[in-house]
Chains A and B, each alone.
Chain A
Amino acid sequence: QVQLQQSGPGLVKPSQTLSLTCAISGDSVSSNSAAWNWIRQSPSRGLEWLGRTYYKSKWYDDYAVSVKSRITINPDTSKNQFSLQLNSVTPEDTAVYYCARDKIVGATTLNFDYWGQGSLVTVSS
């Protein structure tokens, strides 16, 4: 059974960096048949896919255009986890942040088949 456990601060000051970690159990961040996503949800912006990282002989990442200049998603193979860093945050970045797994099964990718518990991050001074 895959479990994703999120951690990180719930309050970030404007202009600072939002950092969250998603610890994986029951799978490997280096799996060739998985990808690791960050998604957020707010009343004003709804659900928003932020980006993902995955390993296929080397590490790749994809990011949403809306945050591409400010985001980094990094795998940590030593701890079997991955992280989100979002720079220069504003109150608009206040949201519940989720990590989620994609699973590749044959020719099909099952998007977001497992989710973390969600982390409310508030951007405020």
Chain B
Amino acid sequence: QAVVTQEPSLTVSPGGTVTLTCGSSTGAVTSGHYPYWFQQKPGQAPRTLIYDTSNKRSWTPARFSGSLLGGKAALTLSGAQPEDEAEYYCLLSYSGARVFGGGTKLTVL
């Protein structure tokens, strides 16, 4: 089974920009892995921010964007807000199977 890797933790200043990445043990992440990004706050189920690399859900703030960067999937937050402090998980698809990354704890400080 593939292993999906994320930064364990990152810190961003309010109003700042940060990029979270998502790599695959099988090689470069491509659009064919249909990268997803989820945000999870304590006591809540994860919620989709980005699907299929760069598509946003209706509730996704404009400050979040998804892309492929250097062989990884990337989630960029531009203009961080205190309410963006959360755990972020990526998800990659491998044919019928899905694998989550270990999550990035994002601190806004």
How far is A76 from B96 in the complex, measured between Cα atoms in Å? 22
Report the stretch among A10-18, A21-29, A82-90, A112-120 that lies at the interface. Answer: A112-120
Instruction: Name the A residues within 8 Å of B52 (CB-CB).
Output: 108
Whether A49 pairs with B45 at a CB distance below 8 angstroms is: no
B89 touches A47 (CB 8 A): yes
List residues of chain B with CB within 8 A of the CB of A100.
Answer: 45
A-B CB contact pairs (8 Å), 28 listed: A46-B89, A46-B100, A46-B101, A46-B103, A47-B38, A47-B100, A47-B103, A49-B99, A63-B97, A64-B97, A64-B98, A65-B97, A66-B1, A98-B45, A108-B51, A108-B52, A109-B34, A110-B48, A110-B51, A111-B34, A111-B36, A111-B48, A111-B51, A111-B93, A112-B46, A113-B48, A115-B46, A118-B45
Contact: B1 with A47, CB < 8 Å? no
Q: List B residues 44-87 near A (Cβ within 8 Å).
A: 45-46, 48, 51-52, 55
State the A residues within 8 Å of B (CB): 46-49, 62-66, 98, 100, 108-113, 115-118
Residues of A within 8 A of B46 (CB): 47, 112, 115
Task: Summarize B's interface: helix, strand, loop or mixed.
Answer: strand
Query: Nearest B residue to A98 by beta-carbon distance?
Result: B45
- Shortest Cβ distance from residue A53 to the other chain B in the assembled complex, whole angstroms: 11
Given contacts A64-B1, A109-B34, A48 and B48 within 8 Å (CB-CB): no
Interface centre among B1, B45, B91 (most CB of A within 10 A): B45
Can you name the residue of chain A whose Cβ is closest to the Cβ of B6? Answer: A46
List of B residues within 8 angstroms of A110 by Cβ: 48, 51
